[in-house]
Amino acid sequence: MAHISTDHEVLAAVFQVRQGRASGAGHKPALHVLLWQRALSPERGKWSLPGGRLGDDEDLTSSVRRQLAEKVDLRELAHLEQLAVFSDPHRVPQRRTIASTFLGLVPSPATPELPADTRWHPVSELPPMAFDHGPMVEHAHNRLVAKLSYTNIGFALAPAEFVLSTLRDIYSAALGHQVDATNLQRVLERRHVITRTGTTARSGRSGGRPAALYRFTDARYRVTDEFAALRPPG
């Protein structure tokens, strides 16, 4: 049967590095994605990316920002960019709906208040997902991994100031593999992505020499080495 009309929705894959579940080494940081649980059919009870229908008087970016603020009360985005268009005629039942997806990033210290039907889920352990939202999360994660290699996008996941071990944990969680702090420091300093603040962190209970504090040189997205790749060890 031919489609009479077409809807257009905007959906955001919003990521944050958060403390993960307990493991043998404790609560390791893990990359999480923000999802809300559908209360109505179709796909009732399954989990979806936040977003909704594009308004007649809205552009895509304005629409996704509005819906993140209104529906999940998320206003602490450090980075937002359009990613892809999903246009399979049968991606949702009954009415043809084209989806434009966005990548959103929230820095680790932020703790936005969420509605009861919205939660952070580890990217490695997604719940049952509605429609094609699972592949959307995977696509957005792959784009984030690539961008961590050749841009300074890590600024949108990190605190304003950090020690190198914290930055290593953030990159390891987002990339999905362990990163060596010394190698990461060397790469990011060579590209002028991070810089020392000139101050140190407070000493822990064990004492020892206080660790140097760093910050990102820029809090705006930029390409640093378009041919670079941060690969897993070995």
- Give me the pLDDT at residue 1, please: 45
Q: Are residues 128 and 172 in the same domain?
A: no
Q: Would you say residue 91 lies in a domain?
A: yes
- Look at residues 67, 135, 132 and name the one whose alpha carbon lies nearest to residue 104: 67
Q: Are residues 95 and 47 in the same domain?
A: yes
How many domains does one find in the chain? 2
Q: Are residues 38 and 110 in the same domain?
A: yes
Q: How far is CA 23 from the centre of its chain?
A: 23
Cβ proximity of 11 and 133 under 8 Å = yes
pTM of the model: 0.92
Mean pLDDT for the stretch of residues 149-169: 96
My answer on whether omega of the bond before 115 falls inside 30° of 0, hence cis, is no
Token code pair at residue 70: 């209104």
Which residues, 6+ apart, have CB-to-CB distance to 171 below 8 Å? Answer: 148, 154, 179, 184, 230
- Give me the pLDDT at residue 209, please: 80
- Give me the pLDDT at residue 110, please: 87
Percent of the chain whose predicted confidence (pLDDT) is above 70 = 93
Q: Are residues 56 and 20 in the same domain?
A: yes
Q: Would you say residue 125 lies in a domain?
A: yes
Residues 114-156 have pLDDT tens digits of 899 999 999 999 999 999 999 999 999 999 999 999 999 999 9
- Give me the pLDDT at residue 50, please: 96
Q: Would you say residue 222 lies in a domain?
A: no
Q: In which domain, by residue range, is 202 found?
A: 152-216
Mean pLDDT for the stretch of residues 100-120: 93
Q: Are residues 127 and 166 in the same domain?
A: no
Q: Which residue has the higher pLDDT, 231 or 52?
A: 52
- Give me the pLDDT at residue 229, please: 74
- Give me the pLDDT at residue 208, please: 67
Q: Are residues 22 and 118 in the same domain?
A: yes
Q: Are residues 131 and 171 in the same domain?
A: no
Q: Would you say residue 228 lies in a domain?
A: no
Q: Would you say residue 109 lies in a domain?
A: yes
Q: Are residues 204 and 119 in the same domain?
A: no
- Give me the pLDDT at residue 4, please: 62
Q: Are residues 205 and 182 in the same domain?
A: yes
Q: Are residues 166 and 52 in the same domain?
A: no
- pLDDT higher than threshold 80 for residue 24: no
- Give me the pLDDT at residue 113, please: 86
- pLDDT higher than threshold 50 for residue 35: yes
- Look at residues 165, 176, 170, 182 and name the one whose alpha carbon lies nearest to residue 231: 176
- Give me the pLDDT at residue 138, please: 98
Residues 39-77 have pLDDT tens digits of 989 999 999 999 999 999 999 999 999 999 887 778 779
- Give me the pLDDT at residue 25, please: 43
Give the range among 86-100, 139-153, 217-231 with minimum mean pLDDT.
217-231
Q: Are residues 34 and 136 in the same domain?
A: yes
